[in-house]
Amino acid sequence: MRIAQRLNKLEQAAMTGNRIPQRDRVLHFTYRNGDQADYLRKRQECLDEFQAKYGPDAPMDDIVMVAIRKFYRD
């Protein structure tokens, strides 16, 4: 087997261990409408949970974050 083929197989093996499952690529959280502090706190909690699960150097390129505003009646 040639060196280029070996390197290619090693790169593929290394990348498969670092992949994030599709269901974990969408991060979502809810917050009260108009409460910026709640939004920022919950956003940071969501990111902290993600980084705790996949490590601080997890690739964030393919991650989608969805923030859902909740409306309440007084």
Reading the chain (74 residues) residue by residue, the pLDDT tens digits are 687 777 777 776 666 555 788 888 899 999 999 999 999 999 999 999 999 998 888 888 888 999 999 998 76
AA identity, residue 39: Y
pTM here is: 0.68
Q: Do 43 and 7 form a contact (C-beta atoms < 8 A)?
A: no
- Burial of 7-25, coded b for 16+ CB within 10 Å and e otherwise, reads eeeeeeeeeeeeeeeeeee
